[in-house]
Amino acid sequence: MADFTPEEEKHIKDEFEKVFKYCKGCKIEKNEKIIRKAFDLANKAHYGIRRRSGEPYIHHPIEVAQIVAKEIGLGTKSVVSAILHDVVEDTDYTIEDIERLFGPRISNIIDGLTKISGKFEAQSLQAENFRKMLMTLSDDVRVIFVKLADRLHNMRTLGSMPDAKKQKIASETLFIYAPLAHRLGLYAIKTELEDLSLKHQHPKVYEDITNQILDSEKQRIAYINKFTLPIINELISAGIQFNITGRPKSVYSIWNKMNSKGVPFEEVYDLFAVRIIFDNDDKISEKKQCWNLYSIITDIYQPNPDRLRDWVSTPKANGYEALHTTVMGPDGKWVEIQIRSKRMDDIAERGYAAHWKYKGINENENELDKWIKEISKLLETPESDALEFLDEFKMNLFSSEIYVFTPKGLLRRIPKGSTSLDFAYDIHSDIGNTAIGAKVNYKLVALNHVLKSGDQVEIITSEKQTPKREWLEFVITAKAKSKIKDAFKSERKKNIEKGKKLLEKRFEELDLTINSNIFRKLLAGYETQSKNDFYCKIGRGVVDLTDVKKIIAKKSKNKWIRYWQLQVKKTTKPKKKKEKAEKISKNKNKNQKIELTETLDNVNFKIAKCCNPIPGDDIIGYLDDNEGVTIHKRKCKEAVKLMSKYGNKIVTPEWKSQKLYSYLVSIQLFGIDKMGIVNRITELISKDLGVNMRAISFNSTDGVFDGRIDLYVYHTYDLNKLISNLKKISGVNKVHRIEN
């Protein structure tokens, strides 16, 4: 093991001592003692080891500790953890050693960091590691801060890595760590991570943009000076202490804009932004100070009212506070101005750690805690696949937010693009699971309605509602997705249990015992793939056990039963009796051997999409060349065409068994938009046992509403009864089934 030179030894010591400069709390005697103890251990453990770049390995943990103290603003425990973060991973020391020497809190953090060590192999392993990291989040959020500092230092020193590894680390950084830093409000770190990723992934692009920035720097500064001079004069005469900067855009953000908007560098770079940071004045509230500055600036330059962002009254979830406005500057250029207090700026640049510095770490639940709770809740979801989880997690990381209000006027933050169903799940999973529609700003909308900032949202629920698969297609929040999936899992379990019991009971009634032979018949008879599917269908009530005896008695399996039992009575015959009659008898003869029940065994049949018939409707069947049957309503236009062209291929099936399956139909309602009318409508439908509501949507204009409700019914009888009851509600003028 090669020793270090005296110069190297001195350099190590000097770098380590810097940590105390960056962290005030670390200088307290008992803290200093433990930090020195950690350094001594790490220095010994990594002694003689060098990084790829050739420098002693210990520089890495020391610099991670510096980042943690200086750039994130954390205290002793985090500094100690940073110094020790690679000890268990890379040396002979165990986690037990750490616990014995430094106590459980620190060993817990080190344990979390070790589990998520950068040694990612397959993508799924990477996801799994990431998941582990997030799980430790709930124990101690410092794990993630130290991990980010570790990643930042690795990115800063990525140059000496082989190219393949560079690409991998850089893309991983862009994929997960930069968004994570952003979510935690560590803007400076996020920006640096992005720039470094770009630098290693697309060195040429990075160089080009950097050069272009340098080329246009002079012009930019000249413009910013011209723009800020009047503001500076006014602020000084108003006696405000402030700092004004022309904020340079990051290389990555320029590149990103050029790509996403397909515009050249000049166009992106031509957007100017200025930041004004004022000193906190104890006599005036920060909010008042912000608006005071706003007022001074907009006396000079005309603001664009559409571009005012007030994150002072409602901070972002990651803690960001500031007042943004865009004004028309000289030469007709829009300039964005960010107004912040010193405290706000600290949070904006360094995130929550800085927040704690002001508020005290043990404050009541802050936004970060809330966020961590959300993440922990997600992690509770059993069986959720790691990769899927990573996707969903990322989805939440990236989404920007909108603000909506509850009926009581409480503000809630939800990701941009959220639907009313996302909102329902955001409030409570029970509300999500039973939601049938929503009122947005007092207007009725469907569950897939996309919400906008400022909307007031009330969710309409029905006890009979259950989560639907298609919901997964339009919810966007990870919470809603996982809760819907959960509901399916637990619902299925419940239904299987229930179905099992129902079947046993039914067999007791029939005085039969279930054996595997009977089960095979049942599965075939009800066209079900597995035992559990079958139980589940019974439990859900979509399989009716009335016909069990018949099915068992049947010799051959009968595919018809999958939907209903059909009996072909006769072929319809329009005119030209003689000619047709011949054909029909021919047909009949042809079909005779395979007639009625037996014949139809092998027929596949479909319900026509054009008219969507249900039991009780007057129907016809159309036999195609492969002897499959398509069922149409008799009055369906398509059916009329078929009857006129292919009379010999038309059969008249009869609905034999009902209440075996329910069918989807839609009804449309018109009426006067009275107070509470929708509640009365939904209540009526909920109480009706023959009907199950699937979706509801209402539009209201000028006091008149029109609505559409999708329902499952067993028979036209149920539907007609419901329609006549709906018509009785005062205010409802017209109700009809949507036929096509």
Q: What does the binding site for Mn ion look like in residue numbers (CB under 5 A)? A: 86, 150
Q: What's the rounded Cα separation, in Å, for the pair 411 and 723? A: 39
Three-state SS for 222-261 is HHHHHHHHHHHHHHHHCCCCEEEEECCCCHHHHHHHHHHH
Identify residue 363 by its one-letter amino acid code: E
Cβ atoms 725, 624 nearer than 8 A: no
Q: What's the rounded Cα separation, in Å, for the pair 367 and 168? A: 32
Using the minimum distance from each CB to Mn ion, give the nearer residue, 86 or 718: 86
Three-state SS for 78-141 is HHHHHHHCCHHHHCCCCHHHHHHHHCHHHHHHHHHHHHCCCCCCCHHHHHHHHHHHHHHHHHCC
Task: State the DSSP code for 601.
Answer: G
Q: How far is CA 647 from CA 566, 621, 652, in A?
A: 19, 11, 11
Binning the chain into helix, strand and coil, the percentages to the nearest 5 are 55, 15, 30
Using the minimum distance from each CB to Mn ion, give the nearer residue, 72 or 274: 72
**Rounded to the nearest whole angstrom, what is the least distance from the CB of residue 233 to Mn ion in the complex?**
50
Using the minimum distance from each CB to Mn ion, give the nearer residue, 86 or 392: 86
In the block, residue with structure tokens 């952003």: 182
Nearest to 278 by CA among 238, 335, 332: 238
Instruction: Locate 106 and state its tokens.
Output: 């620190």
Q: How far is CA 155 from CA 317, 401, 477, in A?
A: 27, 29, 31
Selected catalytic residue, list 90, 491, 533, 627: 90
**Rounded to the nearest whole angstrom, what is the least distance from the CB of residue 118 to Mn ion in the complex?**
7
Using the minimum distance from each CB to Mn ion, give the nearer residue, 7 or 92: 92
Cβ atoms 594, 607 nearer than 8 A: no
Q: What's the rounded Cα separation, in Å, for the pair 56 and 52? A: 9
Task: State the DSSP code for 647.
Answer: G
Cβ atoms 339, 240 nearer than 8 A: no
Identify residue 479 by its one-letter amino acid code: K
Using the minimum distance from each CB to Mn ion, give the nearer residue, 60 or 340: 60
Residue 582: active-site member: no
Using the minimum distance from each CB to Mn ion, give the nearer residue, 86 or 172: 86
Q: What's the rounded Cα separation, in Å, for the pair 740 and 665? A: 10
Using the minimum distance from each CB to Mn ion, give the nearer residue, 150 or 547: 150
Cβ atoms 368, 319 nearer than 8 A: yes
Cβ atoms 740, 610 nearer than 8 A: yes
Using the minimum distance from each CB to Mn ion, give the nearer residue, 150 or 336: 150
Using the minimum distance from each CB to Mn ion, give the nearer residue, 147 or 521: 147
Task: State the DSSP code for 501.
Answer: H
How many C-alpha atoms does 575 have within 13 Å on its Cβ side? 2
**Rounded to the nearest whole angstrom, what is the least distance from the CB of residue 151 to Mn ion in the complex?**
8
**Rounded to the nearest whole angstrom, what is the least distance from the CB of residue 123 to Mn ion in the complex?**
21
Could you tell me whether strands 334-341 and 272-278 are parallel, antiparallel, or unpaired per DSSP bridges? parallel
Residue 32: active-site member: no
**Rounded to the nearest whole angstrom, what is the least distance from the CB of residue 213 to Mn ion in the complex?**
31
Instruction: Locate 34 and state its tokens.
Output: 């433990």
**Rounded to the nearest whole angstrom, what is the least distance from the CB of residue 59 to Mn ion in the complex?**
11
Residues β-bridged to residue 273: 336
**Rounded to the nearest whole angstrom, what is the least distance from the CB of residue 89 to Mn ion in the complex?**
8
Cβ-closest position to Mn ion: 150
**Rounded to the nearest whole angstrom, what is the least distance from the CB of residue 152 to Mn ion in the complex?**
10
Q: What's the rounded Cα separation, in Å, for the pair 468 and 487? A: 9
Selected catalytic residue, list 15, 32, 89, 491: 89
Using the minimum distance from each CB to Mn ion, give the nearer residue, 46 or 275: 46
**Rounded to the nearest whole angstrom, what is the least distance from the CB of residue 46 to Mn ion in the complex?**
11
**Rounded to the nearest whole angstrom, what is the least distance from the CB of residue 153 to Mn ion in the complex?**
7
Q: Known catalytic residues? A: 89-90
